[in-house]
Homo-oligomer: A and B are copies of this chain.
Amino acid sequence: MSDHRLTRIVQELPATVPFVGPETIARFSGVPIQARLGANESVFGPSPLAIAAMQEAAAEAWMYGDPEAYALRTALAKVHGVERENIVVGVGIDGLFGTAVRLFVEPGTPVVSSLGAYPTFAFHVAASGGVLHTVPYRDDYEDVEALAAMANTVDARLVYLANPDNPMGTCWDAATVLKLRDALPADAILVLDEAYCEFAPASAIPVIDIADARMLRFRTFSKAHGLAGARVGYVIGPAELIAAFDRVRDHFGVGRVAQEAALASLRDAEHVEAVVRSVAAARTEITKIAEANGLSVIDSSANFVAVDCGHDGDYARRVLAELGALGVFVRMPGVPPLDRCIRISAGTAEQLVVLAQALPRAL
């Protein structure tokens, strides 16, 4: 990109994007996707209440959504036992990462995350000119001690942790997360990505403390709520930091249909519970399929399972490609040694039959 009118930061950004969509993959391969198990979506769908709410709101889509998402924030505050002022709603966690990074990261700001962690956070850090320092995973876990040490070495302002982790599915208990927070430099903020928290044991989720100005909690309706295509995420945190989002966020970004969907889904806790059970069953089934093919899996607390293909990244990439050629869309971690694995999202029974048939052929 040679256009000299772009900012210096943008001129130096790589042309890579965080993810290639399954639609693009299918378009290039010409193979229709039979089992969409690569994006950690909830194949079990949205709540029927959310579907009905979207269908009802469709005719009202001529109206902007409430830029303050008052009703949704009120409902979320009740769910989490906090005040409305402790919650900001945004266009998914991805969009909220972008906003958060703009609040805290200027050119040269040191930021810490794990090498191979969810790439979209790093994407936004780069776009703001931040300097990302990474530490390797340890035994397929984000290495909280190394994260803390690096944060202190570089005096990080933001430290990213996904708990449960994506792409590995591993999970720390709440005490360990809080220990990481406490070990950070005094001015650092822990960006705690809890996209998959509903699938994790309760003991993994720190109690929400709105007096804690050193941690922001990122949540989403894209996973357990099955609303990835509606684009609603939120951040829970101390009122003063949450208010700062208003200074840079796209106020009308979360549309009317999306807000109604999220609101309705919050009223259907049973659906989320059923999804969590279905995901647990699917994880068990994916494990069985992997083991039947002589592969092992990483214990997962998320809605996917990292399957260890037993060799290096090149081998796993070939397995991934073969699965793709058989209509099974999965993804894999980007860096060694994580990339010995492929990451398979929880599927329906039918999709997992497709997987069970395809995997031995792909290996």
Contacts and interface: CB of A to CB of B under 8 A. Distances in A.
B127 A229 contact: no
Interface string A219-249: 0001000111111000000001101101110
Interface residues of A, number: 85
Contacts of A102: 7, 10, 127
A296 B70 CA distance: 37
A3 B240 contact: yes
A10 B62 contact: no
B241 A255 contact: no
Given A10-B244, A54-B54, A24 B66 contact: yes
Nearest to A13: B247
Interface string A21-57: 1011001000000001001011111100011001101
B17 A251 contact: yes
B59 A1 contact: no
A6 interface: yes
Contacts of A10: 102-103, 244, 247-248
Contacts of A27: 70
A7 B127 contact: no
A246 B61 contact: no
**Residue in A39, A98, A243 with the greatest tally of chain B CB atoms within 10 Å:** A98
Interface stretch (A87-95, A144-152, A316-324): A87-95
A13 B257 contact: no
Interface string A47-82: 000110011011111111111101000000000000
A213 B4 CA distance: 12
A72 B59 CA distance: 21
B23 A66 contact: yes
Interface string A189-205: 10000000000000000
B59 A46 contact: yes
B244 A3 contact: yes
Given A21-B68, A61-B230, A1 B244 contact: yes
B23 A68 contact: yes
Contacts of A261: 58, 61
Interface of A: 1, 3-10, 13-15, 17-21, 23-24, 27, 36, 39, 41-46, 50-51, 54-55, 57-68, 70, 91-92, 94-95, 98, 102-106, 109, 127, 157, 187, 189, 213, 222, 226-231, 240-241, 243-244, 246-248, 250-258, 261
